[in-house]
Amino acid sequence: MKIVFFGTPSFAAKNLDFLDKKGHNIVSVISSPDKEKGRGKKITPTHVKLKALDLKIDVKTPNSLKNEEFISYLKSLEADLFIVVAFRMLPKEIWQMPNLGTINLHTSLLPNYRGAAPINRVLINGEKETGITTFFIDEKIDCGEIILQKKVELSENTTAAQLHNILMVKGSNLLHNTINLIEKNKVNSINQKHELAIKVAPKLTKELTRIDWTNEAKDIHNLIRGLSPFLSNKKNLKDVSICPSAWFNLTTENGKVLRVKLLLSRFSKQTNNKVLSIETDQKSFFKINLNKGSIYIEQLQIAGKNVVNISQFLQGNNLNEKWIIS
């Protein structure tokens, strides 16, 4: 069975690598065009393009998916199946092309959390479980017939980066199993129950990333982890499109305003009558008292500086109750 793989970010690159190692016949890879990145504006290929080149698979990066030459190229491949992971919306002319259809891997339990940012939104909303879905693409976004799903339990401290990596691995296996079902003609796909699609996952906005301190403590903690690149004490995910980080302004006793990204927090039910007050021993903890609880800051980044844990931050800053959070 001949397969064409469509994808762009590191998540999709991991899926591509896994499917290749499982022996699936991927005849071509389609990714987004190279882009300028960083201060030096260096032209940089996508993660999927780099992986395709590494695997010695033919790769195309069209500016337009409606380009006649590109359409002709896809037709010439005579592929049986198209696979889409974190890519642009395909024109109908393309997704209808393969005789076995076009499948998509989506990082939620459809029909809930349709949209561009399901990983973030399930955490921001404080969900206790999520999952991953393979489905056949049709004319409406994320609405096609479901093939397979896999559930994932969430803790109250799971971060966006951690969930990204969990679903990346589980998604690879789900794609592999889905391809095998399609190849053996054993798919029993089911229609989505559209009336159950009550939660959505719209694209992240800049406005969302700024912390609103009038919200309850648990909601603020969920926002922080839902946007967080934190993987472990020694590693963070560098993909800002997935993990832009929640932020706020911290004004020092001397009036200097620091823009601070919060990467890791801990929620506490402990309450204090002084909402938005700071508590610290200036050595090991930084606590912010809020509505219906408080949060402890455990990892942060001041604009222009490195990521630090809270002990490192307190060693270099004379944080006290006179500092102002906004």
Question: How much is the average pLDDT of 161-174?
Answer: 98
Sign of CA dihedral 161, 163, 167, 170: positive
CA distances, 172 to each of 7, 19, 64, 130, 240 (Å): 13, 7, 27, 16, 22
* CATH number of residue 314's parent domain: 3.10.25.10
Is it the case that residue 40 has pLDDT exceeding 80? no
How many C-alpha atoms does 189 have within 13 Å on its Cβ side?
A: 21
Within a 10 A sphere around the Cβ of 44, how many other Cβ atoms? Answer: 13
What DSSP assignment string belongs to 195-208? Answer: GG---B-PPP-HHH
pLDDT digits (tens, 9 = 90+) for 98-122: 999 999 999 999 999 999 999 999 9
In a domain, residue 215? The reply is yes
pLDDT at residue number 239: 86
Residue range 224-263, pLDDT digits in tens: 999 999 999 889 998 888 899 999 999 999 999 999 999 9
Asked if residue 258 belongs to a domain, the reply is yes
Whether residue 192 is found in the same domain as residue 211: no
| 165 and 24 in a common domain | yes
What kind and span of H or E run contains 254?
Answer: none
Residues 176, 224, single domain; the answer is no
pTM: 0.96
Which of 297, 168, 165, 158 lies closest to 237, judged by CA? 165
Asked whether residue 46 is domain-assigned, the answer is yes
Let me know if residue 201 belongs to a domain: no
**Is the bond preceding residue 45 a cis peptide, omega within 30 degrees?**
no
Q: How much of the chain is in helix, strand and coil states, percent to nearest 5? A: 25, 30, 45
210 in the same domain as 190: no
Note whether 184 and 211 are same-domain residues: no
Does a structural domain hold residue 232? yes
Co-location of 258 and 167 in the same domain: no
| Range of the structural domain that residue 290 is part of | 206-325
Q: Looking at 162, 196, 230, which one is the last position of a domain?
A: 196
Q: Is residue 36 part of a domain?
A: yes
d(CA 72, CA 226): 41
Which of 196, 228, 251 is the endpoint of a domain? Answer: 196
Q: Count of domains in the chain?
A: 2
How far apart (Å, rounded) are the C-alpha atoms in residues 197 and 114? Answer: 8
In a domain, 156, yes or no: yes
78 within domain boundaries:
yes
pLDDT on residue 37: 80
Domain end marker among 196, 229, 262: 196
Q: Measure Cα distances from 98 to 82, 175, 187, 315 in Å.
A: 7, 17, 16, 60
pLDDT tens digits, one per residue of 264-305: 999 999 888 789 999 999 999 999 999 999 999 999 999 999
Examine the domain organization and report whether 9 and 109 are in the same domain: yes
**Do 152 and 294 belong to one domain?**
no
Is the domain of 103 the same as that of 239? no
Question: Does residue 303 share a domain with residue 224?
Answer: yes
Please, what is the average pLDDT of the chain? 96
Domain at 48, CATH number: 3.40.50.170
- Same-domain status, 188 and 258: no
Element (H, E) at 279: strand 278-280
Shared domain for 185 and 229, answered yes or no, is no
